[in-house]
Amino acid sequence: MATQGQRARRYQIQLDMIGIRRGDKLRLIDRPDQTCVVIDPRDRDARVVHRGEVKSLSAACNDAYGYGQNDPESKWSYKGDTLIAIRERFEAYHRGYDL
């Protein structure tokens, strides 16, 4: 598993690259009652509807945890897996391919 520093150096991934589509629901891993709905998975900072407002996934994370507590890939989950876990599986599968 990647360390926090390794994650910081990675490129931003688009949600559609890891199989998340428009209309999919994401949940906070430790607050499953808080959700957002993906409206643009191709945007580098994915656009979602959270608490009735369109915002970036990062802004939704800030709203939930407070400004500066922002690590959306480890906070949001899809079908029970964090986005970072999904990303790491994607990268492991495609290692050696030019993305």
Strands, E, within 2-79: which ranges? 25-28, 31-40, 47-50, 53-56, 76-78
pLDDT above 50: residue 7 = no
The DSSP secondary-structure symbol of 4 reads: H
Q: How confident is the model at residue 69 (pLDDT cuts 50, 70, 90)?
A: low
pTM across the whole model? 0.79
Q: According to DSSP H, which parts of 1-99 are helical?
A: 4-9, 57-65, 72-75, 83-94
pLDDT digits (tens, 9 = 90+) for 19-66: 999 999 999 999 989 999 999 888 777 889 999 999 988 899 888 888
